[in-house]
Structure 1
């Protein structure tokens, strides 16, 4: 790494990475041991500590190593721990050969000089949807390829809606959704639950409504943005959503929906297995935009990236490993294991053919958007923090939606 890159790396605050870390990853621990310089061993770091030796994921990594003629040494970390370990390893000149990292962190690591571009590492991104690839782009360069994507949509309880006299096909925009919530309350049931907690999870869940209003993250207090926050505030004031959303994580929000009393829950692809065990008939509806159509929801999921190595001869084998991991066959197997929607149309078609329940999620992913897209990069964590603070202020009643977002925009500037 050049000295200028080392200086950029030293200037990156770890809090930036922590703030940008994704919202739907599992926790765990791992070893920081890495490969010997000429050992023929290639290191892979990922945020999937839940997959132990013998799991389908680890078997895939080993198989790709065998195909490339090398041994793979894999370590799984908690998402935030992985980001910190990656920065430290880069400072020490001891980066893994392949890094699978949460998509909002890619631009931070790229700006720090940690990652190679796809022009350098020869990762083939030609089949990847542009809206998903954008999360790994910064200053016109691409720094990896998504291994899969998840996003948000509305789960709904078919029995609750039927008892309330709501035809889900009538829900096409904010007005019709609010009407459905009104009917649900009048029928003695509960409306909608979501996560508005004062963390990245709260911003993650607010973004579909924010973007669905037509607002942009560079203008937090626009009239469109105010309308989105006013929508949520109105739901709380009218009792369509519970006050518990202020402290709800996506997990506790899901637990409320799983009680069977709520008509809707905003949640992600990762709850599909839980939904099938909930004990009631459910459906999935893409989050509507204010005037109709599907709102852009934020993308979750990881990117396969290639960190900078002082021994550039390693890149040739690394390229073979990444090509194996992101092949059509392996993407299908991996995304099925991780409950992800694939980043390419070919693999998505295979997924939906095998499980038609993924259909609404495919539509949601097609409309999704990276949190660091639009060249926001490392600006996103600061914007997000002010956004969730504004949501908290407005929903708690300490400020009006307009005043809360005005303060947020001033803080970002």
Structure 2
């Protein structure tokens, strides 16, 4: 990269990246931690999947795409937060990997920092990607990668608990009917709904479907719609429909509560599907309803395959072939099945649904999903998110009313 680009990689950028949500806790190295190899026939890939070691389907795919492209692929895996910081450091040293697979909220930050090339520059084809998913990698009217897959949030429900409370799942179409169902469940002696409202990005992530489902926008946290969403959660706690533990719940501990078999509903993601299959009760999945009906927009999780800026621009041609292989229809299907992701293209979504009908509500949820950095929020999102989770914490703990909590949040963002 040129010097002017390197100078833009400031401490501020590092701070913004540190706020991105992390999903794993360890790292592994299947190659070299150096981005550039001495052999010009070697191309480097960095990813956030340390759980996949040599011999895994993911690593086999990387090797296969390397062979198909006529190069050797050297892969390094990091946990999510470490990966973004390593990417910034490598860019400062003009030593970026050829392919960088990133958690989608970080894409706009690294793009603004000059770390990533646009799809116009690297010629990666995104024409078949669902627009709402591609938006997470767009900023300033330009696209900086292509999603490898997406996960999002929905409501898991316990069929036995609902049956015992006399609740027909088909009757739940909006907030009013959902709250009525929670009331019936409580009267039947069971527990209503659990979720994560912890004071981190996880808390914002779980609140966003309700916030967006009210019609609120992240540029106006204290709108009447936003207040109604926070009031919904706050009222659920006051009435005993949701436990006070949600204030400290992560998505993992929230799932553990649901797995006890006592709860009617749990807000959680596709990554819990394997655990759901192990549960001692029949479960179903319902897209999160909007305030007045329809499916609320839930935030998209998942990664983008990006191409970092290289001093040797001739490498982009081969890199584009690697990315095209990794994101081809056949390979996306296998990869997204491994990652419990919904594919970013309708063609692969259809293949997933044909193979497993239980994915239908997840496909519906992803089709309604929205990137956290969409609406031109880009690098402003982490600051907004931090104030949002603080507002949720204040309201649910009872230290502030929902309106006062969100007013303080909006003032802090300004």
Q: Decide whether the 8 Å contact of 2:196 with 2:248 is kept in 1.
A: yes
Match of 2:17 in 1: 17
**Alignment coverage as a number of residue pairs:** 411
Q: Does 1:26 align with 2:12?
A: no
Q: Normalising by structure 1, what TM-score? A: 0.98
Which residue does 2:200 correspond to in 1?
199
2:292 matches 1:294: no
Give, in whole Å, the separation in 2 of the partners of 1:2 and 1:187: 66
Secondary structure at the residue paired with 1:304?
Answer: strand
Contact 1:35 1:73 in 2 (8 A): no
Misfit runs of 4+, over 3 Å: none
Matched, 1:6 2:1: no
In structure 1, what is the equivalent of residue 377 of structure 2?
Answer: 376
TM-score calculated relative to the size of structure 2: 0.98
**What aligned pairs does 1:334-373 form with structure 2 within 5 A after superposition?**
334-373=335-374
Q: CA deviation at 1:9?
A: 1.5
Q: In the TM superposition, what are the counterparts of 1:247-396 in structure 2 within 5 Å?
A: 247-396=248-397
Q: Using the alignment, how far apart are the partners of 1:317 and 1:291 within structure 2? A: 49
CA distance in 1, matches of 2:5, 2:62: 30
CA displacement, residues 282-312 of structure 1 (integer Å, 9 cap, x when unaligned):
0000000000000000000000000000011
Pairwise CA distance, 1:11: 5.0
Native 8 Å contact 2:35 2:90 kept in 1: no
Give the 5 Å matches for 1:213-232: 213-232=214-233
Give the equivalent residue in structure 2 for 1:75. Answer: 76
Partner of 1:178: 179
1:3 CA drift (Å): 2.5
Q: CA deviation at 1:369?
A: 0.1
When structure 1 is superposed on structure 2, of 28-37 and 48-57 the one drifting more is 28-37
The SS at the match of 1:312 is coil
1:135-146 pair list within 5 angstroms? 135-146=136-147
User: Cα distance, 1:254 vs. partner?
Assistant: 0.1
What does the per-residue CA deviation read over 1:209-251, in whole Å, with 9 as the maximum and x for residues that have no partner? 0000000000000000000000000000000000000000000
Displacement after TM superposition at 1:4 (Å): 2.4
**Does residue 54 in structure 1 map to residue 55 in structure 2?**
yes
Q: How many Å apart are 1:16 and its aligned residue?
A: 0.8
> Deviation at 1:35?
2.8
8 A Cα contact 1:10 1:91, kept in partner: no
Q: Distance in 2 between matches of 1:145 and 1:174?
A: 34
Worse-superposed segment, 145-154 or 37-46: 37-46
* Deviation of the 1:313 alpha carbon: 1.1
Matched, 1:406 2:407: yes
Q: Tell me the secondary structure at the aligned position of residue 155 of structure 2.
A: strand
Q: 1:321-353 deviations in whole A, cap 9, x for unaligned? A: 001000000000000000000000000000000
Question: Which stretches in structure 2 are left out of the alignment for 5+ residues?
Answer: none
2:238 aligned with 1:240: no
What is the distance in 2 between the residues matched to 1:10 and 1:367? 35
- The secondary structure found in structure 1 opposite 2:19 is helix
